[in-house]
């Protein structure tokens, strides 16, 4: 297998790797495919085994991973990314290994990713030749007994911290996985994101995450790298943004209301034949019909109801209309 010539991301771990892989129907079987807990990595090699770089497919952009079939009948791994399909095939044609590739990617994109590591998939490839054996190995991988959901916050926090140190992934995703594993599968599947946030706050995990983030920020500052926001800072920013959003909605409502009132008032003034404010002292000389008077009365009544006119102003305008 070709030697790895690139660095993994912080907290990233390899769970499966294979060589002699082609990418695309017309590609050569010179590449290597690495499955990690964060992404699918294609290691590109030339015909003389010269390293040409990598192409990373993060799980955040992969919609689906399935075992498909090329036009020549060859089994291949197919990654559906947006409207595009990336296909990979093994020179060996080993259908069992192809199934493991598909399984590994779907496992790592799912909620039970922590249960399955490199050793697990190696056993699947070498030992599992039928579905029953695969199911047996999957059950064995999940034999770790999690802390009871009814346990105290301190017990759960302790188990979560142990899982966290074991994984070495102190990102938000890593901490959530550690807590999820500590609280048990039943709790994990039945809890909503908002409840999870509240739960993490209650047992102090969010504070622990912020402490790790602050420690990491000290190192980042020393090396001139961009610092990361803590959960508390992010929450404060979200609350501020929500407040601004509500204020903007209210501002738009007020502006719309004022525009509507101004238009209605202008219409009333136009129908009354009202001149600019400087000449409003002159009395209305033209005689209005009863119909015209009723229309104007209805319109100024709507202005009264909208709060544009005070009761005194309404009475004054009503008398002006009735006397015209």
pTM: 0.44
Helix (H, G, I), strand (E, B) or coil at 203: coil
Q: What is the Cα–Cα distance from 52 to 32, expressed in whole angstroms? A: 11
Q: How far, in Å, CA of 78 to CA of 88, rounded?
A: 7
What's residue 190's pLDDT? 41
**Would residue 293 count as lying in a domain?**
yes
Model confidence at 294: pLDDT above 80: no
Q: Rounded to whole angstroms, how far apart are CA atoms 79 and 24?
A: 11
pLDDT of residue 172: 62
Q: Give pLDDT, residue 219.
A: 72
State the pLDDT at residue 187.
44
pLDDT confidence bin for 90, thresholds 50/70/90? very high
In this structure, the answer to whether residues 42 and 136 fall within a common structural domain is yes
The domain of 314 spans 261-323
- In a domain, residue 184? The reply is yes
Question: How many domains does the structure of the chain reveal?
Answer: 3
Structure confidence at residue 4 as a pLDDT band (50, 70, 90):
low
pLDDT digit string, tens, across residues 19-54: 999 999 888 999 999 999 999 999 999 988 889 999
Give the per-residue pLDDT at 192. 43
CA distance 310 to 294: 19
pLDDT per residue over 134-169, tens digit each? 666 666 665 543 434 445 555 666 677 777 666 666
Lowest mean pLDDT among 26-40, 178-192, 282-296: 178-192
Helices (DSSP H) in 168-310: which residue ranges?
172-183, 185-190, 193-202, 205-222, 231-272, 290-305
Confidence of residue 313 (pLDDT cuts 50, 70, 90): confident
Task: Report helix, strand or coil for 111.
Answer: coil
Q: Check whether residue 190 and residue 75 sit in a common domain.
A: no
Q: What is the pLDDT of residue 234?
A: 79
Higher pLDDT, 80 or 265: 80
State the CATH number of the domain containing residue 34: 2.30.29.30
Segment (H or E) for 19: strand 14-23
* Whether residues 75 and 107 fall in one domain: yes
Regarding whether 169 and 116 lie in a shared domain, the answer is no
Quick check: is 243 in a domain? Answer: no
Q: Which of 141, 173, 198 is the last residue of a domain?
A: 141
Are 78 and 43 contained in the same domain? yes
Please tell me whether residues 108 and 214 are part of one structural domain.
no
């Amino acid at each position: 297998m070709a030697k790895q010539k690139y660095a993994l991301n912080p907290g990233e771990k390899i769970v499966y790797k294979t060589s002699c892989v082609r990418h695309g129907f017309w590609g050569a079987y010179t590449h290597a495919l690495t499955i990690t807990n964060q992404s699918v990595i294609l290691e590109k090699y030339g015909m003389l085994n010269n390293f040409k770089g990598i192409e990373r497919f993060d799980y955040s952009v992969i919609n689906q991973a399935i075992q498909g079939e090329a036009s020549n009948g060859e089994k291949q791994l197919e990654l559906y990314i947006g409207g595009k399909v990336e296909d990979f095939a093994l020179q060996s044609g080993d259908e069992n290994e192809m199934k493991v590739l598909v399984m590994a990617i779907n496992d790592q994109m799912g909620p039970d990713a922590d249960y399955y590591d490199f050793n697990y998939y190696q056993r699947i490839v070498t030992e599992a030749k039928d579905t029953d054996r695969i199911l047996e190995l999957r059950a064995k991988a999940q034999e770790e007994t999690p802390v009871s959901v009814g346990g105290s916050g301190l017990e759960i926090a302790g188990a979560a911290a142990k899982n966290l140190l074991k994984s070495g992934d102190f990102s938000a995703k890593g901490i959530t996985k550690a807590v999820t594993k500590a609280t048990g599968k039943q709790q994990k599947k039945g809890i909503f994101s908002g409840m999870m946030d509240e739960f993490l706050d209650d047992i102090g995990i969010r504070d622990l995450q912020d402490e790790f983030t602050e420690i990491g920020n000290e190192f980042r500052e020393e090396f001139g790298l961009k610092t990361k926001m803590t959960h508390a800072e992010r929450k404060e920013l979200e609350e501020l943004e929500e407040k601004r959003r509500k204020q903007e909605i209210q501002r738009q409502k007020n502006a719309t209301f004022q525009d509507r009132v101004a238009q209605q008032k202008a219409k009333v003034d136009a129908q009354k034949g009202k001149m600019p404010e400087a000449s409003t002292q002159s009395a209305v000389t033209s005689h209005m019909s009863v119909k015209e008077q009723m229309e104007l009365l209805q319109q100024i009544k709507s202005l009264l109801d909208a709060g544009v006119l005070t009761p005194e102003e309404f009475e004054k305008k009503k008398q002006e209309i009735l006397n015209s």
